[in-house]
Amino acid sequence: MFEKILIANRGEVAVRIIRACKEMGIVTVAVYSEADRDALHVGMADESYCIGGPLLKDSYLNMDAIITVALRTRAAAIHPGYGMLSENPEFARRCEENHITLISPGSEVMEKMGQKELARKLATAAGVPVTPGSDILENVEAAFMAASEIGYPVILKARAGGGGKGIRIVRSEDELETAFDQVQKEARSSFNDDAIFMEKYLENVKHVEVQILGDVKGKIIVLGDRDCSVQRKNQKLIEECPAPVLSDELRLQMYEASVRLAKEVGYVTVGTIEYLVKGNFFYFMEMNTRLQVEHSVTEMVSGVDIVEWQIRTAAGVEIDFEQKDIAISKHAIECRICAENSQSFAPSTGKVEMLHVPGGVDVRFDSALYTNYVVTPFYDSMLGKLIVCANSRDGAIRKMKSALSEFVLVGVDNNREMHMKFMNNNRFIVGNYDTTICQKVL
């Protein structure tokens, strides 16, 4: 097992990883930007080092600085969390060259699955259903030809996209050229890679993902599934485990497909395969070769500490339980608490003047907030994740309503009221909602 791990991230996920390391007896090293000098993860870690200015490119995306700190502190491994450098194959290669373990499936797998059009081909080879799509589009003329073959509506996607960026839905030929230019520019700006491909756009679908865990011996365990259909501008707001109104037969098919794909690429550690579900059919969307924000709901239901097992499997430890040991008998819901105006959704900043976190059995708030903490404009707006678990979905909804009503955050605008709207919405309560639900509720 690793004796020391550097956490190349910030905020809630850095705190989550440090907690797991402490429980495992692992020494932790935090890195931080000048804007995060007073951040919670800095004080929690055993060692902490400033690596640059407030901007991401100067600090949390600064590969040279992060690797230098890891080498000087003799950290055996780096945990990238999610976002930041977590799915960057170049960073993975740099770690390998310096004999540092990046807690990930490795640069080769990250490269394959990070290129979404290549991931589609690998999924097809593993017998996983995919929607009709194209190869990389060299120019807008190629996009017009592909769209005429696939049929409108289509969706343009950046090969290296993520976080809701580099995506545009195109419903007619008149929209295609503008959308193509927009996606290309956004992809170049956000990912330094303007390669684009196209897929058939499916209307009124559910977004369901499957959580897997793999070890060096090729053992793959499915830890459960999650519904992530509550999204605004391709950003997830609410997740629940297991996905409601999914038949046992369809769920089993998705699990079997996920295992086949994981084995096809030799997957090790924690990963997530995302699908679009329409009726009794599912289609591969992408694979996330990292920890997901929403891993917490799966932990609550499965009883498996996903972060601990991510670290163990990266260190070469074999999984010591079987698929039959994963019994999904409870239901968990997660609401992402974000710093934004509840009416305009404009980002919010400010000092946390008062913070009250809900309590009770199976109520959890994963966050890096504390009283007098200053929320700056430099980073993602997510302040924390409010998670509840109960014996039934109805019970989980009631528990979430209770937790939201108890949650108090003064000084920074946040979206608590928005989440309460969903908990009281009949369509959400029934469970038969899809990715269009935000348009109807908000």
Amino acid at residue number 187: A
Query: Which of the residues 10, 290, 312, 364 is marked catalytic?
Result: 290
The burial class, CB within 10 Å (0-12 / 13-18 / 19+), for 327 is exposed
**Quick count: other Cβ atoms within 10 Å of Cβ 236?**
21
DSSP 391: S
- Straight-line distance from the first to the last Cα atom of the chain, in angstroms, rounded to the nearest whole number: 47
Positive or negative: CA dihedral 108, 113, 118, 120 = positive
Q: Are strands 77-79 and 4-7 parallel, antiparallel or unpaired?
A: parallel
Q: How many CA atoms lie within 13 A of 334 on its CB side?
A: 31
Q: Are strands 27-33 and 47-52 parallel, antiparallel or unpaired?
A: parallel
Distances in Å between the Cα of 217 and the Cα atoms of 146, 221, 263, 319, 402 are 41, 12, 11, 9, 44
The rounded distance, in Å, linking the Cα atoms of 382 and 395 is: 26
The DSSP bridge partners found for residue 154 are 170, 200
290 catalytic residue (yes or no): yes
The rounded distance, in Å, linking the Cα atoms of 288 and 87 is: 8
Instruction: Name the packing angle between helices 107-114 and 116-125 (round to 10°).
Output: 100
DSSP 56: G
DSSP 392: S
Go through 49-84 and write b for each residue having 16 or more CB atoms within 10 A of its CB, e for each that does not: bbbbeeebeebbbbeebbbebbeeeebbbbbbbbbb
DSSP 397: H
**Quick count: other Cβ atoms within 10 Å of Cβ 440?**
10
- For 283-336, give the DSSP string: EEEEEE-S--TTHHHHHHHH---HHHHHHHHHTTPPP-S-GGG----SEEEEEE
- Catalytic site residues? 290
